[in-house]
Chains A and B, each alone.
Chain A
């Protein structure tokens, strides 16, 4: 009986998957049509619905950013572009539109150190795949090293190189993990000021426009400690959206 039930469950899943995919395709196409017809709220609603269902691929986020940009929501556009860029860091279209939106908002994208910039030029999924490949190849090299002593002359340097590559992949993953723990945040409201302390009466340190990218360091109630360049200060949590 158990085998029969499992068969039916698998069959239902296999049938449901194409149906879901067709629905996603239809929603995506409808949103693109709405975008072309300048029905921007409909386009935004369509792509937002896909994102809400977990379909946050770079293509969806990129198009969502375009719709927000055309609709005049610079902060949301930059957020969508940045999230798309985390998933496809070397995509020239995403880079171009993010840069365009950033300069339209009058902001500069945060500069990264060379090594961090290099590591973040690859998405988490890419580092995971690369790391997994290095891991298995390293395991294979170690297996050869253990089982066939005659081939150790080749297995040893191969294992060293693969171990170094695995460490590089782990560094890339650690950087992405760091971005998850203290994410970038996009200022979603205009006229915000970074304050010296989490008090409305605190001294303003810096005015930040809508769409500015900051690093969210610490949450304290309704306030978030942010870092922008060399300035550290506080912004209301309601004015920020984290880049995930």
Chain B
């Protein structure tokens, strides 16, 4: 690509230092007027000890087009900030990188810059002052002398500059005009083929086409011959007004010394990838582009925004047909101007014919194209055999060269329309680009289908939307029910296969049943033997199931041992012992007589002890 468009949101002012040093904070130089300060200050973050900074430029005597290298070295540090040099008119300073050296003699960091002069002369770099923690380090002035290629040191012509050429007369809205960017460079200076455009044109309100390079010419500027590379684009303004145009270009200038060193001796193979070029940013003097609005005076009624010079032609086929048969009208617009935005006139429905929307066929012109053509097709259907012609159509455009409106017309077109063979009710239609295969006709019904009867059900309330929360809740119940079913089934299966677990689950229920028996016995007879028999059964059955013991194995010593092992509190153990002892006495010796109240107390005591045992891990 010869010419690249690179929108540069940072603006068009060339940035001298483009090196990103990553971890180091970036520091900008501030160039103070010499007669005021005489020095330049910049601040950066280095170690707190005294700084030793050196600055050198080599070589200091150059021919125009050659590159010098500047080195800013910070001694005794391990990192250095990024330093931007101020602009020096005619001299471009571009950061190229950072070099670090670590050794027994200490460490140092060097920032390197390419110096490229755009005109001959003597350039003073500095003096500068580095300011850090109140300490100021002086950098002496370094002079760079650049001589013209012919050795004329007094020549002051710039080696390289750019200009923008806009139309001498302010263009009208939608008028297509040329934008030409020119790069002027002295003979002997060699540029890379690629040129980048760094934005600078209005981002909205314009349509700008691709830039193309014109043939290189030679032009005299200020008594000096320059080679001129020109890049032209077609542009069109979408709105009227004044626009600032500030483009900038970036071009590579090939160093003559490096060019000689790397020249391929055979002319067709270069193992090092071609000559090295120094990128140079060329600001273009800003220009103000005024776009005029199209005059309102004298504007024809049918004017639709076309600006330029146009020709309008029509073709009508067939010229002899029956009522209801389609006529294809071809509308062709061609000329110079905003062809892409221009729309040709078309027919509208009339008493004698029905007209369908015109549709564009063929290629769509480029919005920025200066010239071209557009073709539309429109279907017109005669409603009556009284139709004798298709009326003329007029197309109006604004001619910017003459600054006036013009109107061109086509037609009228005589027609022979016969009555329809199958009556006027049938409608034949052919739509350009429609779905009818092979461009054939599509026969439609004679009329729309008649009304439908009233709905079977009328809506009450807000319809489905009003019931959404309820529906969501109902549907959410399904996964919950499934989850419940899953866990219940799993539990059932486990209980069916795990006897110990099943008995463990059963133990409290058995205990409660025996406690109820004890209460019933108390109600019936208040006989201690019956009550304590039920209570002893409650304890024995509970622990038998709980511990998965065979029937009769759950006796008092085993239960007490298990309770003790489970670290049951002493009071409960004592109560259990007391209960078992009393139970044995009552059941087997009939030695104790207990009042009803005592029996009630023992029922509740055993119930309490069993509840405690339920909470203990045995």
Contact = CB atoms under 8 A, between A and B. Distances in A.
Contacts of B207: 203
> By CB atoms of chain A within 10 A, which of B451, B459, B475 has the most?
B451
Contacts of B450: 66
B55 to A, nearest CB: 52
Contacts of A66: 448-451
Contacts of A21: 458, 460
Contact of A204 (B343, B442, B481): B343
Interface in B76-111: none
Interface in B437-473: 442, 444-445, 447-455, 458-460, 462-464, 471
Nearest to A77: B448
Contact of B341 (A25, A70, A203): A203
B343 A35 contact: no
Interface in B384-433: 429, 431
Nearest to A36: B451
A221 interface: no
A42 to B, nearest CB: 14
Contact of B448 (A59, A97, A193, A204): A97
Interface in B469-488: 471, 475, 478-479, 481-482, 485-486
B455 A146 contact: no
A207 B475 contact: no
Interface string A85-119: 00000000100110111010011100000000000
Contacts of B478: 135-136, 139
Contacts of A135: 475, 478
Interface in B355-404: 356-360, 367, 379
Contacts of A60: 455
A132 B360 CA distance: 48
A62 B431 contact: no
Given A139-B481, A204-B341, A106 B357 contact: yes
Contacts of A96: 445, 448-449
A21 B367 CA distance: 58
A172 interface: no
A139 B356 CA distance: 56
Interface in A18-71: 20-21, 24-25, 28-29, 32, 35, 54-55, 57-60, 62-63, 66, 69-70
A128 interface: yes
Contact of B485 (A97, A125, A132, A146): A146
B482 A55 contact: no
Contact of B454 (A17, A20, A28, A107): A28
B343 A207 contact: yes
A209 interface: yes
Contact of B340 (A32, A99, A203): A203
B604 interface: no
- What is the predominant secondary structure among interface residues of chain B facing chain A? loop
B57 interface: no
A132 B462 CA distance: 20
Contacts of A101: 448
Max count, chain A CB within 10 A of own CB: residue among B367, B449, B489: B449
Contacts of A107: 357
Q: Indicate the size class of the contact surface on chain A.
A: 35 or more
A213 B29 CA distance: 61
A106 B449 contact: no
B435 interface: yes
The DSSP consensus for interface residues of chain A is helix
Contacts of A17: 460
Interface residues of B, number: 45
A202 B305 CA distance: 11
A142 interface: yes
A108 B431 CA distance: 9
Contacts of B336: none
Given A108-B435, A139-B481, A54 B475 contact: no
B449 A93 contact: yes
B238 interface: yes
B568 interface: no
B448 A106 contact: no
B403 to A, nearest CB: 20
A100 B454 contact: no
Contacts of B444: 99-100, 103
Nearest to B477: A139
A55 B485 contact: no
A93 B452 contact: yes
A181 B447 CA distance: 34
Contacts of B451: 32, 35, 62-63, 66
B434 interface: yes
A59 B452 contact: yes
Interface string B224-251: 0000000000000011000000000000
Nearest to B488: A147
A57 B455 contact: yes
Given A54-B459, A128-B464, A202-B238, A209 B449 contact: no
B50 to A, nearest CB: 61
A204 B339 CA distance: 11
Contacts of B359: 207
B445 A106 contact: no
A103 B435 CA distance: 11
Given A59-B454, A100-B448, A132-B475, A146 B464 contact: no
Contacts of A97: 448-449
B12 to A, nearest CB: 25
Contacts of B481: 139, 143
Contacts of A203: 207, 238, 340-341, 367
Nearest to A57: B455
Contacts of A93: 449, 452
Nearest to B434: A108
B485 A147 contact: yes
A47 B227 CA distance: 78
Contacts of B462: 54
Pick the most buried of B343, B358, B449, B452: most chain A CB atoms within 10 A of its CB.
Answer: B452
A199 interface: yes
Interface string A172-215: 00000000000000000000010010010111101111000000
Contacts of B340: 203
Nearest to B174: A201
B458 A20 contact: yes
Contacts of B486: 146
Contacts of A106: 356-357, 379, 431
B86 to A, nearest CB: 41
A25 B455 CA distance: 9
Contact of B431 (A103, A128, A132): A103
13 contacts: A24-B454, A59-B455, A93-B452, A100-B444, A106-B356, A107-B357, A125-B464, A128-B464, A139-B481, A142-B482, A146-B489, A196-B367, A204-B343
* Interchain residue pairs A-B with the least CB separation, the first 6: A106-B356, A209-B357, A57-B455, A139-B478, A59-B452, A93-B449
